[in-house]
């Protein structure tokens, strides 16, 4: 695969200390993973922290100020969510209308014809993002109320596709390439938990839970790990029990009333 040019600028001053530190850490992650190379079955890789950096910067600048009791952790971007908007689980309408974020979005260096990046002009809806942000909107009303004590992040910032455009999740990468990527993502997750002084990491799906447990254990972090049902439409359970089950899970963890 051809090398990709790094475009993410460094963090900017004048922000709350946590947001500024997280911007710096995220810029470092963007550059580190951008230098990774992947072989078959990976054909195309998108790094929205590069071509959609401006909207991600606005997300962190607006909502990463102060400590957060709970961090919700996803796996990696979806093709019609963060791949379009640069925001985790970033279904276009949710990011634009509830989070109040819009920004110019560029193009990946190599774009798959079946997964075009159209930014906030994308008319496809990321079901997982619509469900997750819809859950938060229904429970808290205003985004500002949710982000007082909560934050949403992805473990891995990259999108992987096969030659046909099919999605590849990070756990399906070749072992050596997965190890290098995990090291970078583990370091960033450790930084994120530390910077936000998170008391809980709630993994959205089993993969994210395992990553959080590994990082907490290896880094000696005093953080509790919880589980939230993944909102993917590929999950029959999510299709049947969303949003009732995730609401119950949050109550059972003692995090929501």
State residue 219 phi and psi, 5-degree precision. Answer: -95, 0
Return the pLDDT at 8. Answer: 40
The single residue listed with the structure tokens 């089993």 is 206
Q: DSSP string of 184-237?
A: HHHHHHHHHHHHHT-SEEEEESHHHHHHHHHHHHHHT---EEEEE----TT-HH
Task: Please say whether the beta carbons of 52 and 106 come within 8 A.
Answer: yes
The dihedral region occupied by 45, where left means phi > 0, alpha psi between -120 and 50, and beta the remainder, is beta
- The domain limits of the chain are 17-252
Residue 78 DSSP class: -
Q: What is the pLDDT of residues 23-67, one digit of tens each?
A: 999 999 999 999 999 999 999 999 999 999 999 999 999 999 999
Structure tokens at 36: 């990774």
Q: Give the closest residue to 130 by CA, choosing from 247, 248, 243.
A: 243
Q: How far apart are the first and last CA of the chain?
A: 49
The pLDDT score that the predictor gives to residue 14 is 75
Do 119 and 113 meet the contact criterion of CB atoms below 8 Å apart?
A: no
Domain 17-252 has CATH 3.90.1300.10: no
182 to 133, 173, 209: CA distances (angstroms): 26, 11, 14
Task: For the chain, give the percent of residues with pLDDT over 90.
Answer: 93
Res. 216: pLDDT tops 50: yes
Nearest residue to 37 via CA among 146, 174, 147: 174
pLDDT score of 96: 98
**182, 176 in Cβ contact below 8 A?**
no
Give the pLDDT confidence score for residue 13 in this predicted structure.
Answer: 55
More confident residue, 15 or 56: 56
Q: Which residues contact 245 (CB under 8 A, 6 or more apart)?
A: 229, 237, 238
Spatial distance between the Cα atoms of 187 and 12, rounded to a whole number of angstroms: 21
Torsions phi, psi for 78 (to 5 deg): -90, 155
Rounded to an integer, what distance in angstroms lies between the CA atom of residue 70 and that of residue 111? 35
- Which residues are bridge partners to 34 per DSSP? none
**Distance of CA 4 to CAs 85, 189, 244, Å?**
20, 23, 43
Average pLDDT over residues 222-237: 97
């Amino acid at each position: 695969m051809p090398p990709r040019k790094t475009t993410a600028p460094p963090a900017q001053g004048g922000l709350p200390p946590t947001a500024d530190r997280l911007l710096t850490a995220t810029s470092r992650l963007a550059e580190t993973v951008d230098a990774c190379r992947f072989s078959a079955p990976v054909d195309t890789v998108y790094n929205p922290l590069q071509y959609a950096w401006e909207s991600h910067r606005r997300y962190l600048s607006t909502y990463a100020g102060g400590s957060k009791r709970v961090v919700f952790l996803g796996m990696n971007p979806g093709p019609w969510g963060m791949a379009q908007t640069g925001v985790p689980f970033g279904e276009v309408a949710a990011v634009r209308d509830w989070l109040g974020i819009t920004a110019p979005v560029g193009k990946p260096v190599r774009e798959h014809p079946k997964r075009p990046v159209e930014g906030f002009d994308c008319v496809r809806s990321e079901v997982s993002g619509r469900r997750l942000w819809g859950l938060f909107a229904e429970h808290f009303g205003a985004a500002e109320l949710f982000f007082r004590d909560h934050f949403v992040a992805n473990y891995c910032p990259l999108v992987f596709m096969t030659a046909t455009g099919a999605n590849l999740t990070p756990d399906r990468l070749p072992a050596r390439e997965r190890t290098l990527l995990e090291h970078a993502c583990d370091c960033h997750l450790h930084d994120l938990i530390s910077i936000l002084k998170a008391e809980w990491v709630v993994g959205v799906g089993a993969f994210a839970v395992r990553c959080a447990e590994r990082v907490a254990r290896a880094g000696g972090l005093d953080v509790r790990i919880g589980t939230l049902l993944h909102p993917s439409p590929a999950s029959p359970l999510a299709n049947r029990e969303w949003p009732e089950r995730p609401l119950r899970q949050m109550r059972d963890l003692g995090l929501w009333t």
